[in-house]
Amino acid sequence: MIAFLRPYGVGNFSPFYKRTLKAWLNSSAQYRALDYIGTQQTLDALWLQQPISAAGYGNQATQPFGINIGSPPCYTGLRMLTDTVDWRVSSGVQGSQGTRSVVMTVLIPGKTHGIEPRTLAELTQGTGVPVVHALDERVLANDFRVVQQSLELFREYVLAMTQGALSVDVQILYMPDVDMEVQASESQNRYYAGLTNYADIWAQLPESVLEGTDWWWMLYPSHVPEQYPDFQNAEFVTGGMGTGEDSQSPFFLIDDRWLIRKPPHIGTGLYSDVERRAYLPQWLQHEFFHHLFRTYPEFQLEATSHQWFNLSTWPADFDGRYEADYFHEALYKRLQSADPALHVALRYATADAPWENVQLTDVMGAFRREPVLNNWHIGTIEPAGSGLRWVNNAGVSWLLTPDLLNGELLTGPDCPYYNNPSGKKFNIVLKRDAFGDFTDEVIGFSFSGEFYELQ
């Protein structure tokens, strides 16, 4: 702790801040050394002296001297690590391999191109100069060390949150010749600099990767024009949480600089290993819970965007005051008892699906999307010549071409959504068993990120 703070003057930090940072540094080092009892003892001592959700955490400066160890400082990392080590100690689990695993593919295109604004006026007008960005080579260094560091705690956390049912296997796919289009814009006083259409990546991937991936993370060469005076202290939105090629699986998205340097709204300078290990788990947790809350809409845990930012919208049985508290309560009071179970709902790869057992009659019948908001959410799949037809209760229909061996019903130009990135097919959904493994029973289809259940 002293070594980390010495360049800034140890005396410039409050005792509360220093105790928090010391507990984080010691406990995370103990955990990496597999000293789970020691980790738990260090964390228990901190929570005894500075209780969970105490106002003192939020009273600390979040960017002193440009440091970024999370907001509140170290708090999210400490809560995630506490949940993780408490599960390890109580269960006696020592290894890092779950009953089943999910594959997280980290996609790293080598180039981006677009129009780069040099001034605020050019940003608002959508003008600028054409540029090509190359990937920051520090992302590649030492076997993708910055990527691995960012995922360390998050991977352990997923294993614990699923009570040992799911481990996260990471595969990194660096694509030096792939060039993605980027754009910068301004809307309602917010600045954006990101991919024009991240779905363009699907055409660049082999079928084995598409079928074998459960979760996605793309790191692309940044388009943030921070080298110009107008933008040196500007916050740009560069990513977030989307969906995979199946319109269901989680898709983390951010630019390459996010792992290398601190954006001006959360710090200054390059990330140290300490900062990266403390902050990136917070970003990953935040985006992942967006996905969890949309996966289980019945709990209404994000009925409005980021509702946990407003304490008045928290469920009555939730305690605490910070984002990490809300996520902890959501996990232990809702999600761990959800149906289907987390370890079932969070598996999306279809490489082992028994499509050869699916017959045409299995995908015909009445389907319903919940909640039903209009007549487009109820319909039937009926025979139509040698193919099929979708007919909804609004009286709109379009042809479907079966591709059962790939688990798809292909739409055509008569489909109103055909020109949308996710509008070219219905993805057949098979039932999973108690371990999350596929059966050959069709339970519905997904289309444009929405699930239609077979009635």
Q: Which helix (H) or strand (E) holds 187?
A: strand 166-187
Q: For tokens 């301004």, name the residue.
A: 186
Inter-residue contact 225 to 116 (CB < 8 Å): yes
Inter-residue contact 53 to 109 (CB < 8 Å): no
Q: What is the pLDDT of residue 414?
A: 95
Tally Cβ neighbours within 10 Å of residue 189. 5
pLDDT in tens, 222-267: 999 999 999 999 999 999 999 998 888 999 999 999 999 999 999 9
Residue spans of the chain under pLDDT 70: none
Q: Which amino acid is at 238?
A: T
Nearest Cα to 417, choosing from 372, 376, 360? 376
Q: What is the pLDDT of residue 386?
A: 87
Inter-residue contact 225 to 122 (CB < 8 Å): no
What is the spatial distance between Cα 330 and Cα 298, in angstroms, rounded to a whole number? 12
Residues near 90 by Cβ (< 8 Å), separated by ≥ 6? none
Q: What is the pLDDT of residue 448?
A: 85
CATH of domain 355-454: 2.40.128
Inter-residue contact 124 to 231 (CB < 8 Å): no
Q: What is the pLDDT of residue 98?
A: 81
pLDDT in tens, 339-375: 999 999 999 999 999 999 999 999 999 999 988 999 9
- The CA R_g of the chain, rounded to the nearest whole Å, is 24
What is the spatial distance between Cα 81 and Cα 159, in angstroms, rounded to a whole number? 12
CA angle 69, 98, 280 (to 5 degrees): 15
What is the spatial distance between Cα 30 and Cα 49, in angstroms, rounded to a whole number? 20
- What residue segments make up the domains of the chain, in order of their start? 2-89, 95-296+334-345, 355-454
